Amino acid sequence: MSAPFAFAGRTCLITGAASGIGAALALELGRRRSVLVLVDRDAEGLARAAAAARELGAADVTTYEIDLSDGGDRLDLAAEVASRHGGVDLLVNNAGVTLMGEFEQNAMPDFEWLLEINLMAVIRLTKAFLPQLLARPGSHVVNVSSLFGLIAPAGQVAYVTSKFAVRGFTDALRHELEPRGVGVTVVHPGGIRTNIAANARVSGGDPDGRQVAQARRFAERALTMPAEEAAKQIVAAIHDRRPRLVIGGVAKGADLLARLTPTRYWRISQRLATVKKLQGD
């Protein structure tokens, strides 16, 4: 696909739109006078994102308060969007959650909750909106994976499982849809300042709050790129029809290391982290 994606007047659906990258994307697309369909379970955050997008020039903004963990097939949402807007031109599957603790500690209901939001919601929404995407020339799908869709650190088994699956799903989907005129992009952000770490679920509980406090300290130290910058890069990738976008120096470095040493990168990264700690960096 060579023609750039034109945003003005095109209907764009974003999940996880109440905060972080999703809210920043709503603002970027609002500036480009897109028609926005914003989805999240946080009604207050949705209202703020919608109001800000309208002020910036969005052609129209509709919000849907939906909990993506409930396992719905999303055909009702697809039908409503088709009725109101005639269909969707851009689907951005951005919503995501994380789960703290090693695999041994992870309760299966928590593991399944994460997979439902991070993976199955991506699949369900793409399936529900696929007829609309195929019917609208030049449409596009964006699935947000993660740095942890490129590398697999200890203590993140559930999250890694979902994000590697999103990566594989998106790559295979691209090979099917691009010949039919639908662009597909997988995004691997790393080090983006969002609430995902601070809002992580803790399997087995966190009675003294230590794990949550640790997650917040990690977020303050490691998640430094503003979500607005990530959103600008994603919008540019959509415009240019790029199949893959890796955001942030940490993600790019980890991607390269995993390609060079696919079975040893974790040990190497642990050694590098130890050296940085000893240097006081």
Q: Tokens representing 69?
A: 């963990």
Q: Tokens representing 10?
A: 């095109």
* Contact criterion met (CB below 8 Å) for 122 and 166: yes
Q: Tokens representing 211?
A: 């794990």
**Mean pLDDT over the full length of the chain:** 89
Question: Which of the four pLDDT bands, split at 50, 70 and 90, describes residue 128?
Answer: very high
Tell me: pLDDT of 250 over 90: no
Residues 206-232: tens digit of each pLDDT: 555 555 555 554 444 445 688 999 999
Question: Which of the four pLDDT bands, split at 50, 70 and 90, describes residue 202?
Answer: confident
Residue 53 — φ and ψ, nearest 5°? Answer: -65, -40
Question: Which of the four pLDDT bands, split at 50, 70 and 90, describes residue 272?
Answer: low
The CATH homologous superfamily to which domain 11-278 belongs is NAD(P)-binding Rossmann-like Domain (3.40.50.720)
Residues 145-165: tens digit of each pLDDT: 999 999 998 889 999 999 999
Structure confidence at residue 225 (pLDDT):
80
**Three-state SS for 229?**
helix
User: Greater confidence, 76 or 202?
Assistant: 76
What residues does each domain of the chain span?
A: 11-278
Tell me: pLDDT of 205 over 90: no
Residues 27-75: tens digit of each pLDDT: 999 999 999 999 999 999 999 999 999 999 999 999 999 999 998 889 9
Q: Please enumerate, as own/partner, the contacts of 162-167 that have beta carbons within 8 Å and a separation of 24 or more.
A: 162/96, 162/114, 162/115, 162/118, 162/119, 163/118, 165/119, 166/93, 166/118, 166/119, 166/122
Please compute the mean of the pLDDT values over residues 74-86 and round it to a whole number.
96
Please compute the mean of the pLDDT values over residues 202-209 and round it to a whole number.
59
Question: What are the DSSP calls for 79-147, one per residue?
Answer: HHHHHHHSS-SEEEE-----EES-TTT--HHHHHHHHIIIIIHHHHHHHHHHHHHHHSTT-EEEEE--G
Structure confidence at residue 220 (pLDDT):
46
Structure confidence at residue 159 (pLDDT):
95
Structure confidence at residue 209 (pLDDT):
54
- CA Rg value for the chain: 19
Question: Which of the four pLDDT bands, split at 50, 70 and 90, describes residue 264?
Answer: confident
Catalytic residue among 159, 164, 169, 265: 159
- What is the rounded CA–CA span in Å between residue 126 and residue 146? 18
For the question of residue 64 being annotated catalytic, the response is no
Question: Which of the four pLDDT bands, split at 50, 70 and 90, describes residue 144?
Answer: very high
Count of C-beta atoms within a 10 Å radius of residue 274: 10
- What is the rounded CA–CA span in Å between residue 81 and residue 76? 9
Residues 161-190: tens digit of each pLDDT: 999 999 999 999 999 999 999 999 999 998
